[in-house]
Amino acid sequence: MTVFNHRFNPTVLREYDIRGIVGDTLKPEDAFAIGRCFGSVIVRNGGSKVAVGYDGRLSSPDMEPQLVAGLRACGLEVLRVGLVATPMLYYAAYALEADGAAMVTGSHNPPDYNGFKMMIGKKPFFGAQIQEIGRMAAEGDVVPVSTEGSDRQVDIAEDYVARVLRDYDGGDRKLRVVWDPGNGSGCDVTKLLAAKLPGEHFVINGTVDGTFPNHHPDPTVPKNLEQLIEEVATQKADLGIAFDGDADRIGVVDDQGHILFGDQLMVVLSRDVLKSKPGGTIIADVKASQVLFDEIAKAGGEPLMWKTGHSLIKAKMAETGSPLAGEMSGHIFFADKWYGFDDAPYSALRLLGIVARMDGPLSAVRAALPQVINTPELRFDCSEDRKFAVVREVKERLAAEGATVQDVDGVRVLTDDGWWLLRASNTQAVLVARCEASSEAGLERLKAQLSKQLQASGLAAPDFSGENAGH
């Protein structure tokens, strides 16, 4: 019997997924090892069938066969759904009754990155489970197999699109919509949806290209939405929709070319969901505006602030029975009529239904929201061995001062001016900060409080030079 053991570069085993630089920290042999170890977990869990997909990155066609080979070496049947958006793979796990799923994707990272997102049963595979993959590989702790498994191609696209369209509730109103899948793996499904929805639809950057020639596929960065904003104006569209590289995150632009940030989009979606789910728990991450939590309560919902991270949010949704959750990063999770995973095409369809039923334009809803002033997300370097310690030190000083602190994920400090946040990233050697106030003077006071706490822990104040985002 062949002896198996493998060591991963320690930087690739992250909190929510596995991710690295192709040819440097991540290689095809890593893909085989992931398949061999993840497959062993599936088998030991009583499973026999795994769905596999891959994104449009140049390295993905090399990684996917190695992943499949590793899974087959565990005796598993592998359902290969091909080049798809990540939510299509999640859907395949349900529709094909798979015991697990693995997606080869670098998400919104630069073109030279790639990685893997996994689920076991219908749940995310993350945290300690990912670290366990590293231990299993190093120790050769995998299932012995006498008979190799099998694989077959399965086309999930038409089935997925039909299921998504089933929940469109906008009637026959013909919206004008611009779509930008960003040359990512959501291109083909975007075109399929656009062809079947009522109205006029314009798709830009709709060809899969792993070099991302037009802009980086991260819709949370305003610069990456400039082309979409321009096209919305040219087409006099009702709204514009953008996806990230694997279409599990969404960006939205209204009819006036203004960006709806993740928390503003969640206000629109929450109000609609709560009409049929009164009293429902709506979850958002700690980086979201206080406006969102207030608006959820006003709409009759139960707002719940939770930790940042798509896997953590999904787990909390399942625990609380939440019908809807969202993050500032554009991960939107519908359990109302859908399956509770982050799905940008599905979220787009639900938004289109809402806009089609509105009396006025989407821009009017955005403009009517309470106006606050906030910094963008501030990220600054802090070593792995210091980042959590700094947050702990800040929390202890704030407690001694009698400050009002929410500590579900780092520290979110509430004052008469608004709030400021400091948390440690789970995936990088950085601290993340954000401030929000109702006035410019208040924002300056919050920045000063944050800077003072960081300096007390021996760190320089973050660079606040980026434009404040008013929303």
In whole angstroms, give the CA distance from residue 373 to residue 376: 10
In whole angstroms, give the CA distance from residue 119 to residue 104: 12
Do 434 and 410 form a contact (C-beta atoms < 8 A)? no
Which token pair is 437? Answer: 């106030």
Q: Which residues, 6 or more positions from 375, have their beta carbon under 8 angstroms from its beta carbon?
A: 433, 434, 435, 436, 443, 447, 464, 466, 468, 469
Distances (CA, A) of 155 to 152, 163, 208: 10, 14, 17
User: 152 - beta bridge partners?
Assistant: 79
Q: What is the largest CA-CA distance in the chain?
A: 70
Strands (E), 15-89: 18-21, 49-54, 77-83
Told to judge if 107 belongs to the known catalytic residues of this protein, a careful annotator would answer yes
**Secondary structure class of 116 (helix, strand, coil):** strand
**Secondary structure class of 59 (helix, strand, coil):** coil
Distances (CA, A) of 144 to 49, 79, 140, 149: 17, 21, 10, 12
In this structure, the chain runs to a length of 471
Do 424 and 431 form a contact (C-beta atoms < 8 A)? yes
- How do beta strands 200-203 and 239-243 pair? unpaired
In whole angstroms, give the CA distance from residue 467 to residue 465: 6
- The sign of the CA dihedral 148, 149, 150, 151 is negative
Q: Which residues, 6 or more positions from 460, have their beta carbon under 8 angstroms from its beta carbon?
A: 380, 454
In whole angstroms, give the CA distance from residue 449 to residue 265: 29
The catalytically annotated residue of 107, 185, 270, 329 is 107
- The sign of the CA dihedral 245, 250, 253, 254 is positive
Residues annotated catalytic, as ranges: 107
